[in-house]
């Protein structure tokens, strides 16, 4: 992996107005993500993870600070940086193949090239021969694969994932996490993942940015120096779990029982 940043997030501040005043959601958030890297933004619910990801993707504007992707300031969503949502965002009346093709409309590709590209990425996510199925005919895990294929087909510089596996059961989640590792190793896409799942963050990430809340800020960066694929039951993995758990626990006045993430 090269160490050149593909994206730089610089001193981002963001507040949302509420009834009388406004609440600061992000405070001086700065981080850089290297090309080909997978990073996680880990924090409890409401700490500003989605807001930060939305700002990185150009869906939301920072009050102050900048996001610079490939040397250019991000001011709106682009095809270079694609967001993958937890609820898949598929069109129910379109087949898997059509859903992937649809993302390519408006590109320079011909209809034949769009079809070929869509088929290729359905294969990449393990859905060879499944292109004619409709979203209601497939499991949540398969829907998310279609969504990943649609994102990959655009050949973006970067994919943003907002708790992409949170709606899946444990087995499907583990399976999809493995798929994501395999795909990322092949495609070398840069991935920024938001999660409240400590194990998921350790399993997938090269680096984890721990966010604390009120206002949302980067508390700590942790390098996960374990080769992939990782063994969740290994003591090295447990070491990072403990380290991260303590980061949150130390931030609390109450017992770990009251630790909501």
Ligand X SMILES: Nc1ncnc2c1ncn2[C@@H]1O[C@H](COP(=O)(O)OP(=O)(O)O)[C@@H](O)[C@H]1O
In the bound complex, what is the minimum distance in angstroms from residue 142's beta carbon to Mg ion?
A: 23
Q: Does 127 bind ligand X (CB under 6 A)?
A: no
Distances in whole angstroms, Cα of residue 258 to Cα of each of 169, 197, 205, 250: 24, 16, 27, 13
Which one of residues 6, 29, 31, 50 is an interface residue with Mg ion (CB under 5 A)?
50
Calculate the CA dihedral of residues 69, 74, 80, 84 and round it to 10 degrees: 110
Look at residue 65 and give the partner it binds from ligand X, Mg ion, none, a contact being a CB closer than 5 to 8 Å depending on partner kind: none
Look at residue 25 and give the partner it binds from ligand X, Mg ion, none, a contact being a CB closer than 5 to 8 Å depending on partner kind: ligand X
Is the separation of the CB atoms in 176 and 146 below 8 Å? no
Is the separation of the CB atoms in 42 and 13 below 8 Å? no
Biggest CA-to-CA distance, the chain: 60
Cβ proximity to ligand X: between 19 and 136 the closer is: 19
Q: Does 75 bind ligand X (CB under 6 A)?
A: no
Label the pairing between strands 207-212 and 38-42.
parallel
Q: List the x/- string, 12-51, binding to ligand X by CB under 6 A.
A: ----x--------x-----------------x-xxxxxxx
In the bound complex, what is the minimum distance in angstroms from residue 46's beta carbon to ligand X?
A: 4
Q: Which residues bind ligand X (CB under 6 A)?
A: 16, 25, 43, 45-51
């Amino acid at each position: 992996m090269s160490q050149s940043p593909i994206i730089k997030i610089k001193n981002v501040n963001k507040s949302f107005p509420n009834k009388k005043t406004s609440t600061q959601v992000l405070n001086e958030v700065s981080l850089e993500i290297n090309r080909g890297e997978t990073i996680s933004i880990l924090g409890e619910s409401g700490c500003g993870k989605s807001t930060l990801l939305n700002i990185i993707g150009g869906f939301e504007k920072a009050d102050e600070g900048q996001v610079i992707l490939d040397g250019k300031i991000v001011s709106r969503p682009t095809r270079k940086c694609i967001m993958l949502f937890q609820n898949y965002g598929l069109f129910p009346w379109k087949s898997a193949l059509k859903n992937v093709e649809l993302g390519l409309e408006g590109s320079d590709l011909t209809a034949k090239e769009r079809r070929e590209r869509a088929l290729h990425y359905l294969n990449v996510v393990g859905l060879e021969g499944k292109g004619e199925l409709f979203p209601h005919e497939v499991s949540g895990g398969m829907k998310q694969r279609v969504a990943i294929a649609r994102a990959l087909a655009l050949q973006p510089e970067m994919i943003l994932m907002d708790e992409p596996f949170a709606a899946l059961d444990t087995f499907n989640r583990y399976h999809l996490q493995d798929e994501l590792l395999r795909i990322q190793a092949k495609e070398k896409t840069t991935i920024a993942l938001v999660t409240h799942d400590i194990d998921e963050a350790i399993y997938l990430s090269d680096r984890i940015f721990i966010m604390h809340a009120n206002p949302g800020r980067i508390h700590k960066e942790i390098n996960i120096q374990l080769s992939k694929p990782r063994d969740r039951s290994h003591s090295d993995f447990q070491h990072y779990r403990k380290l991260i758990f303590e980061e949150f626990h130390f931030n609390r006045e109450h017992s770990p029982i009251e630790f909501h993430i």
